[in-house]
Amino acid sequence: MKAWEVQPGAAALDDLKLVTRDDPAPGPGQVLVRVRATSINARDQAIVAGRYRMGALTRPTIILSDGAGEVVSVGEGAGRFAIGERVAGCFVQGWVDGAYRPEYRGRAMGVPLDGTLAEMMVLDENGLVPIPDYLSYQEAATLPCAAVTAWNALYRSAPLIAGQWVLLIGTGGVSIIALQLAKAAGAPVIILSSSDAKLEWAADLGADETINYKTTPDWVEPVRAASGGGVHHVVEVGGGTLPQSIAALALGGQIHQIGFVAGREVPFNAPAFVGNFARLNSVLVGSRASFEDMLRAMTAAQIKPVVDKSFAFDDAHGAFEYQKSPALFGKVVITV
């Protein structure tokens, strides 16, 4: 089969190579999936650039954590899926339910485990979910990392209640599906972006208030004013935006700390945090049960993830270039 591998010592996109590997076969309890579509996350850019926090790779590894496809064969004793069933892989293999545990470290798809950007993949049958009929492979492939993360931000610690205000930072993969999930739950949303055009698209998806963080870098007061005194949830993909997010909270509001697109080192204003009775919640994607809960909610609301652009398998480099460009809105997909 053909696959895209990131090489040990990778430091740039040229280190992502198209290779041929032996076709995999499912062992006991495993499932062979013909991959139909995959998607790129910010994490994959960091892996290819040699900046991912797990450090340098020790072996060539198939890139990307997210993918969807159809079951083509199953190994001995594997009974969860039938041949031909449409499935998506879970980001953390083996995390079926409950809280994150130490043994799940090292079980993430697309580093350190082989990922999805290949014609075929073999996974334990417990590391897959069935995908709903109304979603295409491309749409389903956007979900395992960004969407499950957004779902856990909004529902894992203190579930979002209709009418609570949600603040979203930027218009990347996590933020746009968070917008769709929050609106489906009856929550008003404020979204920030560097681009007025993207803010218009976000408004088309239901965003109630939009703020350009380039032209309005001091967005705390506009957010507090728009939300009538502060937001209840922040899906914090910025990192560097944490001080402003804390200041934008309503009393008792929650920050769901997810990512670092606006910087990793941030001053922590402890008095402001305590004064707002704020709560800080870490999110690391989520379990298979979270993925399944989210798919039920998405199906009920018929939420279609936003696929910004789909690239051909041979043009993985083009897809990576586009995903980190200012044009990005939502998710970039590679059709296999």
Ligand X SMILES: NC(=O)c1ccc[n+]([C@@H]2O[C@H](COP(=O)([O-])OP(=O)(O)OC[C@H]3O[C@@H](n4cnc5c(N)ncnc54)[C@H](OP(=O)(O)O)[C@@H]3O)[C@@H](O)[C@H]2O)c1
Binding site for ligand X (CB under 6 A): 41-43, 145-146, 149, 169-175, 192-195, 198, 213, 237-238, 241, 258-262, 283-285, 328
Q: Which is nearer to ligand X, 136 or 142 (CB)?
A: 142
Phi and psi of 36, rounded to 5°? -110, -30
- Name the residue nearer to ligand X (CB basis): 216 or 302: 216
Smallest gap from residue 47 Cβ to ligand X (A): 10
Query: CB of 79: closest distance to ligand X in angstroms?
Result: 30
Candidates 74, 58, 54, 68; CA nearest to 6 is 58
43 vs 224 by CB, closer to ligand X: 43
Minimum Å gap between C-beta 28 and ligand X is: 30
Cα→Cα distances 281→166, 185, 236, 241, Å: 15, 20, 10, 15
Q: Name the minimum Å distance from CB 224 to ligand X.
A: 18
Sheet holding 209-212, edge to edge: 209-212, 189-193, 166-169, 231-236, 249-257, 279-282
* DSSP one-letter string for 152-167: HHHHTSS---TT--EE
Nearer CB in complex with ligand X: 42/123:
42
Check if the beta carbon of residue 271 is closer than 8 Å to that of residue 294: no
**How far, in whole angstroms, is CA 331 from its chain's centroid?**
9
Minimal distance, residue 63 CB to ligand X, in Å: 14
SS3 104: helix
Question: Are 157 and 254 within 8 A, CB to CB?
Answer: yes
Taking the complex as a whole, how short is the minimal distance between the CB of residue 191 and ligand X, in angstroms? 8
- Minimum CB distance to ligand X, residue 259 (Å): 2
Helix (H) or strand (E) holding 334: strand 331-335
Whether residue 288 contacts residue 129, with contact meaning beta carbons closer than 8 Å, is answered with yes
- List, in sequence order, every residue forming a beta bridge with 212; answer none if it has no partner: 193
**Residue 115 CA from chain centroid, whole number:** 15
- Given the complex with ligand X, which of 234 and 237 has the nearer CB atom? 237
Considering beta carbons, is residue 123 or 237 the nearer one to ligand X? 237
57 vs 59: CA distance, rounded Å: 6
**Judged by CB, which is closer to ligand X: 116, or 149?**
149
- In angstroms, what is the minimal distance from the CB of 330 to ligand X? 8
Nearer to ligand X, 61 or 175 (CB): 175
CA–CA gap between residue 12 and residue 10 (Å, rounded): 6
